[in-house]
Amino acid sequence: SLLLALSLLSPWGSAAGSCPPRCVCASNLLSCSQANLSVVPAPLPRFTAVLDLSHNNVTRLRADWAPARLPHLHALLLSHNGLAFVSTEAFTHVPRLRHLDLSSNRLRTLDENLFSDLGELEVLLLYNNEISTVDRTAFENLGRLRKLYLGQNRIARFPLELLREGTRLPQLALLDLSANRLRAVPAGELQALPAWLRDRLYLHNNPLACDCLLFQLLDRGRRRHLSAVEDFQDELRCFLPGASAHVKILDLAGKQPLNCSKAREAVLEAHLGDTVTLGCDSRWQGVRSRHWVTPGGERVLGDGGNGSVVLLANGSLQLRALRPEDGGTYSCWVAGPLLNETLYVELLVHNFTLHGPHDTLNTAYTTLVGCILSVVLVLIYLYLTPCRCCCCRGTEKPPAPRDDSINSSVLSTTPNHAGGTGEPCGSHLASGAGAGQNGRFKGGGTPPLPARQAPKAQRKVSDPDSVSSVFSDTPIVV
């Protein structure tokens, strides 16, 4: 009776909570490893928190492997099973899963929304499979995923959507892509990642093509003592163009044919009067404290001076209205959870006068073009305007009275002609003494009136020294 009472009190005492055959049960832990299972044992106790099914023959994980909801299950181990198929609904009944091990199986593809039901998943192990295709939505809704192991697969395309701002997994702190088939990586975008993420981005043992951007990315990581670079320097190799043997990426500095230059630490360039922000790119998350030291040795803890130096909430240092003396090397001191770290940012302040010659050249060029256009317009106005005298040649009929506003030159500063009847055009052509260039009349005094015309009020003529009419050949004074 005592044994019966203890069995009833034990979580495995009831029929629904009995330990499955060939499994070892301890409290809420269920271990069925190396039990030669081809399917998941059933029924599974509802309070199971850890389920170990590794080293079996479970080749397919269907949607009904857990027919009832397992609200307490937070770790599922399925490594070394020859697993080749996982249903997109396989994790519907285990929403609290935080650790999922699918490593060392035969998975070839990661289908659309495969893990979308695992909103609390933190660690996902997929290494040592045959994965060559990864759907872009396979990891959607994994807002708490911190570690993703995709090493030792057949992945040929870098999954940049996992890291790019706006689409990346927000809590991701480790991404293992080692021992795949990557031939290129987006070095520029990887350099823009936070240092704490670059510290856990593993790229070794890939057939990468040698590139100076890749070299500088890894060289900066070595200078910063990032573990993903420092711990795997010998495995970080690449292939030179036309070569069959690989070389160490970190040995490319100054060597042919690429002749890559050494990577410089963070360098920021700006001009006088600019506002810049110096980032404290620490490889530690959850830092306790940090402060900046200026090139002059002053420690910045808050607003400095008249507000030109500001320590932002995220640890960055903002400099406003830059002056020449603001240039130099700034250092950020970080107190990390394990070790302290010091970061250096070199600020180069360029004087705006360095751009002066370009501005002067632009102004001079604009002025020259304006002058040339003005001269061309004046010449067109002078020589391409049709002469009205050709219309009345050979006729004795006097022209209609002239209107002062029409006949006076738009360029002349002399008074308008006096009122009265004008002269016929033939009088200008008949006078040979006043003929000027191109056969036109060149006014030098009062032209004689025809004999048949009675003496009337003589027409006033512009002073020869003034700016003449547009119909004369007297040079225009500009």
Q: What is the pTM of this model?
A: 0.63
How many domains is the chain built from? 1
Q: Is 425 helix (H, G, I), strand (E, B) or coil?
A: helix
Please give the pLDDT value at position 302: 58
The CATH number of the domain holding residue 320 is 2.60.40.10
Please give the pLDDT value at position 444: 45
Please give the pLDDT value at position 254: 73
- In a domain, residue 337? The reply is yes
- In a domain, residue 324? The reply is yes
Which residues make beta-bridge pairs with 237?
248
Output the six-digit token pair for 57: 């023959």
Please give the pLDDT value at position 170: 87
- In a domain, residue 193? The reply is no
Q: Which residues contact 341 (CB under 8 A, 6 or more apart)?
A: 282, 283, 284, 333, 334
How many C-beta atoms lie closer than 10 Å to residue 58's C-beta? 19
- In a domain, residue 141? The reply is no
- In a domain, residue 470? The reply is no
How many C-beta atoms lie closer than 10 Å to residue 395's C-beta? 11
- In a domain, residue 358? The reply is no
Q: What confidence tens digit (pLDDT) does each residue in 335-353 have?
A: 777 667 777 777 888 875 4
Please give the pLDDT value at position 193: 84
Q: Which residues contact 1 (CB under 8 A, 6 or more apart)?
A: none
Containing domain of residue 286, as a range?
268-349
Please give the pLDDT value at position 352: 58
CB of 110 closer than 8 Å to CB of 132: no
- In a domain, residue 290? The reply is yes
Mean pLDDT for each consecutive 10-residue tract of the chain (478 residues)? 37 59 91 94 90 96 90 96 94 94 96 92 97 90 94 94 78 94 91 84 94 89 88 93 84 79 74 84 74 82 64 84 83 74 77 50 69 86 66 51 45 44 42 44 46 46 42 45
Q: For every residue of 388-409, which 3-state class applies, written as one string?
A: HHHHCCCCCCCCCCCCHHHHCC
- In a domain, residue 181? The reply is no
Please give the pLDDT value at position 169: 85
CA distance 50 to 52: 7
Please give the pLDDT value at position 363: 57
Please give the pLDDT value at position 414: 44
